[in-house]
Chain A
Amino acid sequence: MEQLDIKIKGLSFKNPVLTASGTFGYGEEFTDFIDLNHLGGFIVKGTTLNPREGNPYPRMAETASGMLNAVGLQNKGVDYFIEKIYPRIKDYNTNIFVNVSGSTIDEYIKVADKLNNLEKIAGIEVNISCPNVKEGGMVFGTHCPSARNVIREVRKVYDKIMIVKLSPNVTDITEFAKAAEDEGADAISLINTLLGMAVDSETRKPKLSTITGGLSGPAIKPIALRMVWQCHKVVKIPIIGIGGIMNASDAIEFFLAGATAIQIGTANFINPKVTIEIIDGLKKYLIRHKFYSIYDIIGKLEC
């Protein structure tokens, strides 16, 4: 029997397929299409200390093999999540993570601290890489000493699994991967979106209200793969690969490059059943290549 189960710091995942924050709502948006209990896990929308309205419309532009978004962390705040949303989703038999964001270190600490007591939340993903907010977010994720500070302080208050989501908008992502590992991250996830922009040639205006936004989709997959591979060579903690995964074959590429798990993001918008199809595809791949476990292919790129 082929085995898709993995472990991250002692926590079991029934398979290595998770969903990326901001592309899967709170999971509930997808229950008409898939059984959430079949996922390895899902990561809920970026959550901040206070409610955020996000950026003005338009927030999205389609691009070649991808899209730009500038949502800007619209969410109702951590207290609303704990009171209203958590009770509705907590009993799914899968690992639920909350993506944590903030404008100041203090906000990250407060949100993490509030989430620490939620029994059915498996862990947090510290988002130091959102390109769509004016303060915080990517500012922490693109300046190594700041990244260290946030990770260190959140680690002090958060006891369960702490994933750190890295920004690709840096010269050397391995510095940030190492910093996360040094400061106590249990895993790193990469990549968040790449900063980009789109212009309407007819109106001579930017297509996004914020001018710049985060690029996602297959367009960024080669960059994501390269960064996963680079980080795999320098850190021991598990890597969760993200970036333009549309099908099982894309996912396999990330495992070969060194990812222990993957997140599906933008693909959820086009095919809300894609996660389940990828899980099936991974099983078939293992059978076809006579592998026993997904661990047989992690980092096994033949160079």
Chain B
Amino acid sequence: MRKEIRDFKVFNKQLINDNFILLSLQSNDKIPEILPGQFAEILIETKNVFLRRPFSVHDVDYDNNLLIFLVQIIGTGTQYISNLNIGDNLNLIFPLGNSFSVSDKYKDVLIIAGGCGIAPMLLLSKFLFKNNIKPKIILGARSKQHLLRTDAFETYADLFYTTEDGSYGEKGYVINHSLLWKDIKFDFIYSCGPESMLKAVAKYAAKRNINCEVSLENLMACGIGACLCCVTKTIEGHKCVCTDGPVFNTSQLEWNN
């Protein structure tokens, strides 16, 4: 898949809670097919930010040439993005990275997402749905108001929730959800979120011999496999999260540090 560098315009920007925005970027040209899990490196043209910032593609609207991102405002770069106006330019390098494996071999699939880890999962749910697979999703967040984009998922997935304060769904972390401890055997688990959560998911999957893929978000400089900064340790040595990932099968990862 050919990578390209392209200018987009901010088409829509919607604040969806105190620190998340849904950002739609429009191109004059057709968007090439984006696979679930792939990301873009966005150029941040403001003081104190030097490198591009990587963001998972949340959704694609091919008819209107739109790339859609779910952005958590956490630093100077994301603050800059949140301050953009409709019509402003943003320069992207995309599509980057590998993607989640989608196969009709796996019927009972589970998605586990924590916080911002929900970002790549809408595109994944749509892909699964297209392949006649309706995934179950456990979404976890701090509280009810931090559960994001639940409406967008409803057509494509069966949703389950956990919140840390118990304000919605089951109280606790995603890994504590009762769905995981019922007598259901999943064929495949996809997960994205904080590393501690991913490690717990990986452990759960390994114990039950379930195929499990996680999307990692290591610090990156180039995003195209040139700088070798974003590596993660695998059973085959250091691999670049930007080109060999961001999606890794957990059986490949060496997480015993």
Residues of A within 8 A of B (CB): 22-25, 29-30, 32-33, 53-54, 56-67, 69, 71, 74, 217, 266, 268-273
Contacts and interface: CB of A to CB of B under 8 A. Distances in A.
Interface in B1-55: 2-5, 43, 48-52
Contacts of B52: 269-270
Dominant secondary structure at the B interface = loop
Contact of A29 (B48, B224, B231): B224
Contacts of A64: 48, 50
B237 A32 contact: no
23 contacts: A22-B227, A23-B222, A23-B226, A25-B226, A29-B222, A29-B224, A32-B4, A33-B3, A53-B238, A54-B238, A57-B218, A57-B231, A57-B232, A59-B228, A59-B229, A60-B220, A60-B227, A61-B219, A62-B50, A71-B228, A71-B229, A268-B222, A272-B222
Contacts of B194: none
A85 B232 CA distance: 23
Contacts of B222: 23, 29, 268-269, 272
A53 B43 CA distance: 30
Given A53-B237, A65-B50, A71-B229, A273 B5 contact: yes
A107 to B, nearest CB: 20
A60 B237 contact: no
A216 to B, nearest CB: 10
B89 to A, nearest CB: 14
A74 B228 CA distance: 8
A67 B51 contact: yes
Counting contact residues on chain B (CB < 8 A from A), the size range is: 20 to 34
A54 B227 CA distance: 12
A59 B233 CA distance: 13
A54 B231 contact: yes
B230 interface: yes
B77 to A, nearest CB: 9
A273 B224 CA distance: 13
Given A57-B233, A66-B50, A269 B227 contact: yes
A63 B48 CA distance: 8
Given A33-B5, A53-B237, A270 B229 contact: no
Interface in B193-233: 218-233
Nearest to B43: A270
Given A23-B226, A272-B5, A272-B93, A60 B219 contact: yes
Given A33-B3, A60-B219, A269-B221, A74 B50 contact: no
Contacts of A272: 5, 93, 222, 224
A67 B5 contact: no
Contacts of A25: 225-226
A269 B49 CA distance: 13
A61 B229 CA distance: 9
Nearest to A24: B226
A246 B51 CA distance: 12
B231 A271 contact: no
B229 A60 contact: yes
Nearest to A217: B50
B252 to A, nearest CB: 15
A74 B230 CA distance: 12
A130 to B, nearest CB: 13
